[in-house]
Structure 1
Amino acid sequence: MPSPARRLMASISSTLSLKHGLSLRPTHQQSASLIRTSSAPGIGFRSFRRSFVAASSSAFSNENREFVIVGGGNAAGYAARTFVEHGMADGKLCMVTKEPHAPYERPALTKAYLFPLDKKPARLPGFHTCVGSGGERQTPDWYKEKGIEMIYQDPVASIDIEKQTVTTNSGKLLKYGALIVATGCTASRFPEKIGENLPGVHYIRDVGDADSLISSLEKAKKVVVVGGGYIGMEVAAAAVGWKLDTTIVFPENHLLQRLFTPSLAQRYEQFYQENGVKFLKGASIKNLEAGSDGRVSGVKLEDGSTLEADTVVIGIGGKPAVSSFESVGLNSSVGGIEVDGLFRTKVPGIFAIGELKKDLVAVLWRQW
Structure 2
Amino acid sequence: MKSSFKIGSVMGIPIKLHITFLLVLPMFAYVFAINPQPFGFEGVEPPMTRYAFSVLTALLLFASILLHELAHSYMAMRYGVNIESITLFLFGGVSAMEEMPRKPGQEAKMAFAGPLTSLIIGAICLFIYGNFISPNPSLSQSPIYHIIWILGSMNVVLGVFNLLPAFPMDGGRVLRAFYARRMSYVKATQSAAAVGKFFAILMAIFGLYVGNLWFPLIALFIYVGASEEERSTQVEVTLENILVKDIMSKNVVSVQPSMSVEELVQFMFEKKHMGYPVMEGGNLKGVVTFTDIERVPALDRPAAQVSDIMTRNVISVPSDAQASDALKLITSKNIGRVLVIDNGSLVGILSRTDLVHVLRLRSE
* Structure 1 length-normalised TM: 0.29
* Structure 2 length-normalised TM: 0.29
Larger helix proportion of the pair: 2
Which structure exhibits the higher relative contact order, with contacts defined as CA atoms closer than 8 Å and separated by 6 or more residues? 1
Larger strand proportion of the pair: 1
